[in-house]
Amino acid sequence: MTKIEKKYRTALNDLIIYLKNSKLLTDNRVESALKNIPRHEFVPESELDYAYYNEPLPIMKNQTISQPGVVTRMTEWLDVKDGQKILEVGAGSGWQSAILSYLVGTGNVYSVERHPKLVKFAQENLKKLNIDNVHVILGDGSIGYPKESPYDRIIITAACTEIPLPLIEQLSENGLILAPVGDASQSLVLLQKTSKGIVEIRNESHYVFVPLVGKFGKK
Ligand code: SAH
C-alpha cells in the first residue's frame, strides 16, 4: 500500500466510525459500497485532502459532491435490490450513482446531468473504476429520462420545490422516489407509488442541496 493509499484508508475508517456513531450509516451493504467506491476518485485534485471529511465539496460549475452522511442516508432509504433499474437526477461527480451501481449489481443506473463538463467528469471518474452499469446522460433531468422508464428507484440529488410530475410517472408500481423538497432548507422525502396512489414513507428536515433547475425545477 502506498503512503497516500494508507492515508485515504485511515481517513475512510474514521469517516465510517463517525457515520455509524451518528446513525447515518446502519446498513452493512451500504458500508461495503462506501469502502468499495473510493470518494477520492470523485473529487477534483484541489479537494483530495478533504475527500473523507463529512462535508460537501466543490466540483465545478458551482456544484458540489454531496456530503458522505447524506449519501449514506439517501442510499439506505432507497433500499436498492440487485438487478433494479435506477434513475438519478443530477450526476455531479458520479459518486452517488457509483454507490448505487455497486448495490444494484446486475442492474443499471441512469443518471441525467445538465452540465456537459460534469457529464464528462462523472464519466471519467466512473471509468477509472471500470464501472460500466452507470449511464450518464446529458439533459434536463427534471423531465426524467422516459426512454428507459419505468424505474424501480428514482433519486433526485438537487433541491426541488416539488417533485417533478414526469418523474412520478416514470416510476414503476411499488417503486420508491427520494428527493430533497423545499426552498432554502429542504426535507428529504421518500415516496412510494402504490396501486392506491402515492404514499409518504419517510420525511426528515434540515438538508441543503443545490437547486434542481430545468423545465420542472426551480424558476
Ligand atoms: N449526485 C452528485 C451530486 C449532485 S449536485 C454526486 O454524487 O456528486 C446536483 C447536480 O444536479 C449538479 O451537478 C447539477 O448540475 C445537477 N442538476 C441541477 N438541475 C438539473 C436538471 N434539471 N437536470 C440535470 N441535472 C441537474
- pTM, whole model, 2 decimals? 0.97
Q: Which residue has the higher pLDDT, 6 or 19?
A: 19
What's the one-letter identity of residue 20? Answer: K
Grid coordinates belonging to 164: 417533478
What pLDDT score does 189 carry? 98
- Please classify residue 18 by burial: count the beta carbons closer than 10 Å to its beta carbon, then call 0-12 exposed, 13-18 middle and 19+ buried: middle
Digit-coded pLDDT (tens) for 107-144 = 999 999 999 999 999 999 999 999 999 999 999 999 99
* CB-ligand 1 contact for 75 (6 Å cutoff): no
Digit-coded pLDDT (tens) for 34-86 = 999 999 999 999 999 999 999 999 998 889 999 999 999 999 999 999 999 99
Mean pLDDT of 185-212: 96
Q: Quick one: DSSP state of residue 149?
A: -
CATH, range 3-207: 3.40.50.150
* CB-ligand 1 contact for 142 (6 Å cutoff): yes
Q: Decide if pLDDT at 219 tops 80.
A: no
Asked if 187 and 200 touch (Cβ cutoff 8 Å), the reply is: no
What pLDDT score does 4 carry? 72
What pLDDT score does 82 carry? 97
The atom of ligand 1 lying closest to the CA of 95 is 7
Query: What are the helix (H) ranges across the chain?
Result: 3-21, 28-36, 68-78, 95-104, 116-128, 165-169
pLDDT band of residue 5 (cuts 50, 70, 90) is confident
pLDDT band of residue 190 (cuts 50, 70, 90) is very high
Active site residue 66: yes
Alpha-carbon distance of 26 to 131, in angstroms, equals: 25
Digit-coded pLDDT (tens) for 143-172 = 999 999 999 999 999 999 999 999 999 999
What pLDDT score does 3 carry? 78
pLDDT band of residue 215 (cuts 50, 70, 90) is very high
What pLDDT score does 100 carry? 98
Alpha-carbon distance of 97 to 133, in angstroms, equals: 10
What pLDDT score does 71 carry? 98
Centre of ligand 1 to C-alpha 152, Å, is 20
Asked if 126 and 97 touch (Cβ cutoff 8 Å), the reply is: yes
Domains of the chain: which residue ranges?
Answer: 3-207
Q: What Å distances lie between residue 192 and 79, 86, 89, 189, CA to CA? A: 12, 14, 17, 10
Centre of ligand 1 to C-alpha 89, Å, is 6
Q: Residue 154: which of 202, 90, 219 has the closest Cα?
A: 90
